[in-house]
Structure 1
């Protein structure tokens, strides 16, 4: 896994809307530093980085980055009905619904 992906993943889930503007900008900049396409392994790791909301659109940037991976991103199982919005969004966009 490339260092810029490892750094993004190591910082954990995206912050929510209550985060400071600086934190949101930092995570956005960090995300945009990851060149495309990502590998399937990187996409799977990035898929664990969604926060509780769309982080002022940064979550959609993450979705689009994940989608640059060749083929569908491997998943363990269909998301549970109570799984977060982003897991359901990715599952649906991967064509597995």
Structure 2
């Protein structure tokens, strides 16, 4: 795993709307931009653990787009369960509604 991905993952989940730390939000957005595309499967899986409680003023969408640069349906490759977060469900829905033939998808 590349160092810039390790640093992002080590900083944990993105902050939520209730944070009053604009610098932290900007720093996390800059971290995402510093990660060159595409990401590997391992990196995508690690990045998937970094979603916070909400969209972090749009930063979570940047994380979604970064994860989607990985090869294939990473993550997830199976339907998220009821306890999965909204962002894992979002990734699943976006992958599921893509242009892959149904037989190439895991349901």
- Structure showing greater radius of gyration is 2
Matched with 1:73 is 74
Is it true that 1:47 corresponds to 2:41 in the alignment? no
Match of 2:16 in 1: 16
Do the aligned partners of 2:76 and 2:91 also contact (CA within 8 Å) in 1? no
Deviations for 1:14-47, whole angstroms, at most 9, x for unmatched residues? 0001221011001111111000000111001001
Unaligned runs of 5+ in 1: none
TM score, norm. by length of structure 1: 0.91
Task: Report what 1:37 is aligned to.
Answer: 38
Alpha-carbon distance, 1:91 to partner:
1.3
Q: Which runs of 4+ in 1 moved over 2 A?
A: 74-78
Structure 1 vs Structure 2 CA RMSD: 1.6
CA distance in 2, matches of 1:53, 1:74: 19
Give TM-score, length-normalised by structure 2: 0.83
Which protein has greater RCO, CA pairs closer than 8 Å, 6+ apart?
1
Q: Is the 8 A contact 2:75 2:91 kept in 1?
A: no
Q: Tell me, which stretches of 5 or more residues in structure 2 are unaligned? A: 97-105
